Amino acid sequence: MANDEKLATQVATDFTKADLSPRERRIADFAVKVTRSPNACSPTDLQLLRESGLTDTSILSLVQIAAYYNMSTRLMESLSTINP
């Protein structure tokens, strides 16, 4: 995906309309779920990711990356309202 500028643009614009593989779509859907409603994540979600070829270590990395970006975004958005 990193070398496909068209796909990268599609994902940035609206990943639900991008030409993603079923595996990539499950990963993206799960990242959105972690962001929007982390308490709704379930063992079924994890099983679907495993069925797509992700290991438990990969799933943990996915959650950590999503959580880091969510925290960073909220931190920067909150601080951007402060005039030093």
- Tens-place pLDDT, residues 39-75: 999 999 999 999 999 999 999 999 999 999 999 998 9
Q: Where are the alpha helices (DSSP H) in the chain?
A: 5-14, 22-36, 43-51, 56-79
Residue 47 lies in a domain: yes
pLDDT digits 0-9 by tens, 14-24: 888 889 999 99
pTM passes above 0.75: yes
Per-residue pLDDT band for 11 (boundaries 50, 70, 90) equals: confident
Quote the number of domains for the chain: 1
Cα distance between residue 39 and residue 84, in whole Å: 36
In terms of residue numbers, what domain contains 41? 20-79
- pLDDT of res. 3: 74
Q: Is the pLDDT of residue 82 over 80?
A: no
| Torsion angle (degrees, nearest 10) of CA 15, 25, 72, 78 | 50
Cα distance between residue 23 and residue 50, in whole Å: 10
**41 in Cβ contact with 33 (< 8 Å):** yes
Residue 72 lies in a domain: yes
Residue 12 lies in a domain: no
Q: Please state the φ and ψ torsions of residue 18, each to the nearest 5 degrees.
A: -80, 155
